[in-house]
Structure 1
Amino acid sequence: MKKKRKRYKIRIERLAFSFSVISMLILLVLNGAISIFSSSKGKVNDTTLLVKSKQSFVVCIDPGHGAYDRGTESASGVFEKDIVLKVGLKVGQILENNNIKVVYTRKDDETILGSDDREDLKKRVQISHDNKADVFVSIHCNSYKDASIKGIELWCDEPNTKDELLAKDIQNELYKLKYTEKRNIKYQSNSPLYVLKNNDAISALVEIGYLTNKDDSKFITSKDGQAKCAEAIAKAILSFKESIKK
């Protein structure tokens, strides 16, 4: 009888130990699930435009002009090269925050890409090619002898292409800011642009406004205006990325 009690006691202890181990495992699994859920929620930021994804999408940001090439100029003496550099760097920062790989044709005002205009443009396209960019966006400001002319102007390769879809996405997001007019999209086949014609990536060139127009110039030379333009361009690129995935 004592032996039976002893065996029974041992069985009870073993069952208790097994139950304890199983309970611990269940708790560990539940805690892990809660941690994963919490951490994934923590990744969502109010300033994040889209949920982060795998870093397999490459965007080349091309702030136009630079160094000796000032581009156009506002009435108050602000150069195009400085405006588009600030906008371009901000676009890249937003994209990087969304786990997009970003390459730049220039990140400062000292970079000289070529000894002449053609060599400069060739180098910009080469940077895009070398980094196997999926998307190339060149950022500029516009000018015209008639100071009443204003608006957002987009250039792309051809109608009914992914390039046009990207251009339209950028145009629409910028137009939502309501700081200027929306002009017709232009195609490089009518007036060839080197960075579009010779680029393997899906490409668009955006003119964010006319520095020769008082209203456009006031907005795009301001810190707030530049930040809003950058956010709109970045949002358009992220939206375009999702649309071509579908």
Structure 2
Amino acid sequence: MKKKRKRYKIRIERLAFSFSVISMLILLVLNGAISIFSSSKEKINDTTLLVKSKPSFVVCIDPGHGAYDRGTESADGVFEKDVVLKVGLKVGQILENNNIKVVYTRKDDETILGSDDKEDLRKRVQIAHDNKADVFVSIHCNSYKDASIKGIELWCDEPNTKDELLAKYIQDELYKLKYTEKRNMKYQSNSPLYVLKNNDAISTLVEIGYLTNKDDSTFITSKNGQAKCAEAIAKAILSFKESIKK
């Protein structure tokens, strides 16, 4: 009887030991699973935060005039609307190649934004607003009754603003091409421009040269000149983007 009790006691002790070992293994497995789940959850949350905080930069390119509105004209019959469209599309292409989101107020000569000047300008600003543009650059050619007048001219809202900084970047890059003169910066106080005054985006208007001046016209109506102007404007926008990020 004592032997049976002894054997029975040994069996209970072995079962208790086995149960203890199994319990420890189960706990280890569960802890490992919880740890993996927590780690995975943390990674997912980190990734989600990274995506949400990823910065975006939108540039609205506005080739002035278009369709029925020819803008100014060179002595040999080249219209402003055609020059600035070619330059604007090239600027946009360069920016897109640098992973910048670009929207255009027009990409062809058939687009009619408004039946009159006021409606046309309002819709250009609306396109920038609807696309939450960070930067708005309106591209134009200049003209004057005195054909000797030439140069690069930039317009912006007020002095000592990001608008002026963007304008200066563009002015400086264009002037590096040495095809014409650098004219003084123009501000809204001189003559309010609708696309600058009513824009949410950091805005500037660039006159790349005078179509009424022979030297300016020869450069800005040429394929090479348009490509260089586009490269200069795009480079300035990219430099401006980096400067405000810092």
Match of 2:72 in 1: 72
Matched residue SS, 1:43: helix
Aligned CA distance change for structure 1 residues 178 and 36 (closer, same or farther; 3 Å): farther
Matched residue SS, 1:164: helix
Q: Is the 8 A contact 1:50 1:238 kept in 2?
A: no
Aligned residues: 246
Matched residue SS, 1:205: strand
Aligned CA distance change for structure 1 residues 192 and 52 (closer, same or farther; 3 Å): same
Aligned CA distance change for structure 1 residues 231 and 116 (closer, same or farther; 3 Å): same
Q: Is the 8 A contact 1:55 1:99 kept in 2?
A: no
What is the CA-CA distance between 1:188 and the residue it aligns to? Answer: 1.3
Encode CA deviations 1:184-207: one digit per residue, 9 max, x unaligned. Answer: 000012200000000010000000
Q: Is the 8 A contact 1:155 1:205 kept in 2?
A: yes
Match of 2:229 in 1: 229
Encode CA deviations 1:159-193: one digit per residue, 9 max, x unaligned. Answer: 00000000000000000000000000000122000
Q: Is the 8 A contact 1:52 1:99 kept in 2?
A: no
Matched residue SS, 2:61: strand
Match of 2:9 in 1: 9
The structure in which a higher percent of residues are helix is 2
Structure 1, unaligned runs of 5 or more: none
Aligned CA distance change for structure 1 residues 2 and 31 (closer, same or farther; 3 Å): same
Quick one: distance in 2 between partners of 1:189 and 1:90? 31
Aligned CA distance change for structure 1 residues 226 and 3 (closer, same or farther; 3 Å): farther
Structure 2, unaligned runs of 5 or more: none
Encode CA deviations 1:69-118: one digit per residue, 9 max, x unaligned. Answer: 00000011000000000000000000000000000000000000001000
Match of 2:169 in 1: 169
Quick one: distance in 1 between partners of 2:49 and 2:209? 24
Q: Is the 8 A contact 1:60 1:128 kept in 2?
A: yes
Quick one: distance in 2 between partners of 1:223 and 1:34? 65
Q: Output the TM-score relative to the length of structure 1.
A: 0.79
What is the CA-CA distance between 1:53 and the residue it aligns to? Answer: 13
Quick one: distance in 1 between partners of 2:119 and 2:193? 14
Quick one: distance in 1 between partners of 2:164 and 2:59? 16
Q: Is the 8 A contact 1:54 1:99 kept in 2?
A: no
Matched residue SS, 1:72: coil
Q: Is the 8 A contact 1:155 1:188 kept in 2?
A: yes
Q: Is the 8 A contact 1:75 1:211 kept in 2?
A: yes
Matched residue SS, 2:149: coil
Matched residue SS, 1:212: coil
Encode CA deviations 1:17-39: one digit per residue, 9 max, x unaligned. Answer: 99999999999999999999999
Aligned CA distance change for structure 1 residues 39 and 5 (closer, same or farther; 3 Å): same
Q: Deviating runs (4+, > 6 A) in structure 1?
A: 1-55
Residue correspondence of structure 1 range 28-43 to structure 2 within 5 A? none
What is the CA-CA distance between 1:49 and the residue it aligns to? Answer: 29
Match of 1:139 in 2: 139
Matched residue SS, 2:49: coil
Q: Is the 8 A contact 1:52 1:98 kept in 2?
A: no
CA RMSD of aligned residues (A): 8.7
Match of 2:46 in 1: 46
